[in-house]
Structure 1
Amino acid sequence: MPPRLRLGLLALAATSSMALSGCIAAALPAAAAAGVFKSSQDRKARRAEPQATPRAGKVSVTADGKAQVTTLSALPAPDGSAARTIAPDAAAPPEMQYLYGSGEAAALSLQAYQALWNFLRIEIGLRRDKSEIRSVVMAPGSTIVSPKFELCGKRPLALVLDVDETVLLNLGYEADAAVRGSGFDAARWARWEATGADKVAAVPGAAETLAAARREGITVIFNSNRSAATAAQTQAALERAGLGPAKLFDTLWLRGEGEPGGKDARRARIAQRYCIVAMAGDQLGDFSDLFNDPELGIRARRNSASETMIAPLWGAGWFLLPNPVYGTALKGSVDEIFPPETRWADPMEKR
């Protein structure tokens, strides 16, 4: 293991108050730290400085029985590639610098949770006839072009949120991944889920907003693609970050063994019992699996969130947290992202 990563912790103070039942105020302090790094980008290790004198080596035996001296302190990977690490004092990847180290990202998170609370307090809390509230979960048979939402009737109100990068920052896993400079490793992530509950922190604004929602009688439910096999550890992580309580298959819904990564099936089961009045996540799939249709191209997917009847939901039932580090948003070639009609050529470079 390389030396321990030292990431800066940024603390902010937000003085915005949130009225509870007209008399209780809740402030949203911000803490920007580190979160989960699950992208597939590789980071090159810095070259070691040449040694003035040979280092003491270790003797190994080659396949043909010959002894040789090596300075390796660990065996290479099965494919022969050497383990790569980045010095802890090296610059973190830009996307990590922004999301986990910047005041800007902390402010965006606070902004999202402030908007969420205002929606719950005003748009939902002040409604006299709660039976006329519509769920923000797309009803069966919906499409992105033609979404449908059902009346809630007498079902109790609930707020449904993703876990990672929505309410929870997985500092320990992210620090390890940053130092290693390697891409996402599913086996390593599984071990993190099972052992990293004490290396986490809440997303700025999350703990206070969830506590305020609970005080107003709104049930807080987590819907995550974390494994149900590590439910106890996920519950512990949420509790440690001040985000709990969470009970498996009641207020905590996780992916079962062999279950696909989509969340619509779980959302539908939650919606049978609760009136889901708001949802929060860091990926479009946290709101509907329709956004992750493999037939949906880069531009079409972007337009589906902004140029359809879905658009009015953002900030009015659907709340998105920033995440430039990993996930379904990070794909697309230059040609797919930038339409030909938007291309610009520097006049100084024209011949």
Structure 2
Amino acid sequence: MLIAALTLSACTATPPPAAIPPPAATVPPGIQYLYGSGEAAAASQQTWRSIVSYVARQIAASPQDSVVLAPDATLAAPKWVPCGTKPKAVVFDVDETVLLNLGFEYDDSAHPGRGYDEKRWQAWERTGAAYVAATPGSVRALGVIRQMGVAVIFNTNRSAANADATRAAIEGAGLGPAVHGETLYLSGDDAMGSKKDGRRATIAARYCVVAMGGDQLGDFSDLFNSGLTPAARREAVLREPLITVFGAGWFTLPNPAYGTALKGGIDDIFPADKRWSPTEQTP
């Protein structure tokens, strides 16, 4: 009887619940656009061609001023570091400007819902050199600029502690050379941390910077990140005097994936007089 009871119990026991599969990984729209779309590739190539053309014109024009803002400048009243007889250079951000961080964003997309982790980013800086790609158009553009006799300098918020790995990523993608302290400036090279104005000042003291490029407004001036609202940042680039600088010294690359551009709620983004609703329309 005991054996029968045990057998019956085993037959009628509720089976353990099936393991719930993890949610399918989906690629966020901004990542789809930046890393996968032909549209982003076309925009990138357009920008790099424009940079090359502009640099060529500046070489012929012998500009008096750099495109680096002077220390006492404001966005409303920009002043520029004079060129003098300094050799010419261009300055570019690295991440999503000359390099696409495909490996890092793959790992993010494969783990939906996980927040940003600085330790994971530092691990990426140290070990991700083989998992990046050059932004479309950048390899050819930087090669042509160097052939013109213009120095190519990288100014990035990657850590100085990972300088060798960052150099390997840049050079491995065909964008080098990148020499720390000469043509590669990193967070930790001065006391300003993630702010880039100090490094820009160091570069502008040695070079006449004829063009800068980046995917964030902070790649041109830290003033854009000094507590401005999204509307104020947008307005600053849409009015004089800065409206004339973009495309003529300052060049932006598309990045809808992350960064300072991705801020603002309904009230920040949509003016009150532009809020359309079909339920409020009359025949």
On whether the aligned pair clears a TM of 0.5, the verdict is: yes
Please say if residues 91 and 154 of structure 2, whose CA atoms lie closer than 8 Å, have aligned partners that are also in contact. Answer: yes
**Large movers: runs of 4+ above 4 Å:** 53-56, 347-351
In 1, Cα distance between the equivalents of 2:234 and 2:247? 17
Structure showing greater Rg: 2
Pick aligned residue for 1:238 from 143, 155, 170 = 170
In 2, Cα distance between the equivalents of 1:118 and 1:169? 23
How many residues are paired up? 268
* Structure 1 position 113 matched with structure 2 position 48: yes
Distance 1:200 1:85, change over 3 A: farther
Letter in 2 for 1:135: S
Structure-to-structure mapping, 1:170-189, within 5 angstroms: 170-181=101-112, 182-189=114-121
Distance 1:55 1:220, change over 3 A: same
Structure 2 partner of 1:140: 71
Please say if residues 26 and 110 of structure 2, whose CA atoms lie closer than 8 Å, have aligned partners that are also in contact. Answer: no
Structure 1 partner of 2:84: 153
- Give the % identical residues: 51
Structure 2 partner of 1:224: 156
Structure 1 partner of 2:210: 277
* Structure 1 position 98 matched with structure 2 position 29: no
**Structure 2 stretches of 5 or more lacking a match?**
1-14
Distance 1:86 1:163, change over 3 A: farther
Structure 2 partner of 1:47: none
User: Structure 2 length normalisation: TM-score?
Assistant: 0.89
Structure with the higher fraction of residues in helix conformation: 2
Pick aligned residue for 1:164 from 92, 95, 106 = 95
Please say if residues 135 and 277 of structure 1, whose CA atoms lie closer than 8 Å, have aligned partners that are also in contact. Answer: yes
Question: What is the Cα deviation at residue 183 of structure 1?
Answer: 2.1
Question: What is the Cα deviation at residue 86 of structure 1?
Answer: 4.8
Task: Report which stretch shifted further, 142-151 or 280-289.
Answer: 142-151
In 2, Cα distance between the equivalents of 1:55 and 1:214? 63
In structure 2, the residue corresponding to 1:330 is in which secondary structure?
coil
Structure 2 partner of 1:255: 187
Please say if residues 192 and 198 of structure 2, whose CA atoms lie closer than 8 Å, have aligned partners that are also in contact. Answer: no
Pick aligned residue for 2:198 from 249, 255, 265 = 265
Please say if residues 86 and 208 of structure 2, whose CA atoms lie closer than 8 Å, have aligned partners that are also in contact. Answer: yes
User: Structure 1 length normalisation: TM-score?
Assistant: 0.72
Please say if residues 85 and 179 of structure 1, whose CA atoms lie closer than 8 Å, have aligned partners that are also in contact. Answer: no
Distance 1:86 1:252, change over 3 A: farther
Cα distance per residue 1:62-100 (max 9 Å; x no partner): xxxxxxxxx79xxxxxxxxxxx9654xx44111111111
In structure 2, the residue corresponding to 1:265 is in which secondary structure?
helix
Structure-to-structure mapping, 1:50-69, within 5 angstroms: 54=16
Structure-to-structure mapping, 1:30-41, within 5 angstroms: none
In 2, Cα distance between the equivalents of 1:309 and 1:333? 27
Aligned Cα root-mean-square deviation (Å):
2.2
Question: What is the Cα deviation at residue 345 of structure 1?
Answer: 2.3
Structure 1 partner of 2:132: 200
Please say if residues 136 and 149 of structure 1, whose CA atoms lie closer than 8 Å, have aligned partners that are also in contact. Answer: yes
In 2, Cα distance between the equivalents of 1:188 and 1:341? 43
Question: What is the Cα deviation at residue 231 of structure 1?
Answer: 0.2
Letter in 2 for 1:330: L
